Amino acid sequence: MTERFSGKVAVVTGAGAGMGAAVARRLAAEGATVAVFDRDLTGASATAAAIRADGGTAEPYEVDIRLSAQVAAAIERVGGIDVLVNVAGVVRYGEVPDFAEDEWDLVLDTNLKGTYLTAKYAIPAMRARGGGAIVNFASVQAFASQQLVAAYSASKGAVVALTRTLALDHAKDNIRVNCVCPGSVETPMLRYGAQQLDDRDPAEVMREWGALHPIGRLIQPEDVAGLVAFLASDDAAAITGAPHLVDGGLLAKLGV
């Protein structure tokens, strides 16, 4: 594998499992020193250990990205930053009249405020190094929703909009900002959704969700990590301010 990130430092949030872990491993495999951010230190440590076992460089950080002081302190510890990937996210289900306010706050604060806070503290560090790249995580549900996900779809639509403005504001700083919009990815969060929305075996439910995609299967975390690595690399030097689908053709099928 090429080392497109040799000598570069990458921060990946939500990197203790799922897509975040896959992104952290991919960037490390291409030469990046990776700061593994997760509110679960056990998960962050496991990802960092796996990277080191493969010959890469990584350090775990226990960070709740909803909390400004924690994000600021972690970014300061990392020091110079070339790449920021905002993967951390949560989903909760329910119709708005029955949706608890603290659940709304959990989803919006994690998915949207967390993206704002990491950018707030990472951008000055990138600017000091002459530029960098940010990849945020939105979702196909920013464009085509399902039932019971008002908070999640609202947060992901906002991430798409935030990405555009960050890209415009910081083009002058040689900082590119894009976002990826996955479909159904085989992760612990998807399994949680299957358990919440259906009484059957979660694995069976997830297979059915995968079959809804024209490619006929669930998207794998590594599929998403490949797109992230491209967008964060110099191969995407002229790409900024846009959402990028990794949805197995789902939105094409829906006509969105």
Residue spans per domain, the chain: 9-182+220-247, 184-218
pLDDT value at position 36? 98
Q: Which residues are the active-site residues?
A: 152
Q: What are the φ/ψ torsions at residue 171 (nearest 5 degrees)?
A: -60, -35
- In this prediction the pTM is 0.96
User: What does the mean pLDDT of the chain come to?
Assistant: 97
Q: Is the pLDDT of residue 255 over 90?
A: no
Q: Is the pLDDT of residue 256 over 90?
A: no
Q: Which 3-state string (H, E, C) describes 43-70?
A: HHHHHHHHHHHCCCEEEEEECCCCCHHH
Closest-CA residue to 66 (of 137, 116, 20): 116
Q: Is the pLDDT of residue 254 over 80?
A: yes
In tens, the pLDDT along 132-150 reads 999 999 999 999 999 999 9
Closest-CA residue to 114 (of 158, 58, 164): 158
Closest-CA residue to 39 (of 64, 59, 17, 10): 64
Percentage of residues of the chain with pLDDT beyond 90: 97
Closest-CA residue to 141 (of 133, 132, 130, 150): 150
Q: Is the pLDDT of residue 49 over 70?
A: yes
Q: Is there a contact between 85 and 228 (Cβ–Cβ < 8 Å)?
A: yes
Rounded-to-integer distance, Cα 15 and Cα 133, Å = 17
16's tokens: 């203790």
pLDDT band at residue 52, thresholds of 50, 70 and 90? very high
- Residues 6 or more apart whose CB falls under 8 angstroms from that of 246 comprise 180, 181, 182, 183, 219, 223, 224, 227
pLDDT value at position 111? 98
pLDDT value at position 1? 64
Reply yes or no on domain 9-182+220-247 having CATH 3.30.2450.30.
no
Q: Is the pLDDT of residue 45 over 80?
A: yes
In tens, the pLDDT along 11-32 reads 999 999 999 999 999 999 999 9
In tens, the pLDDT along 116-132 reads 999 999 999 999 999 99
Place of tokens 């464009």: 143
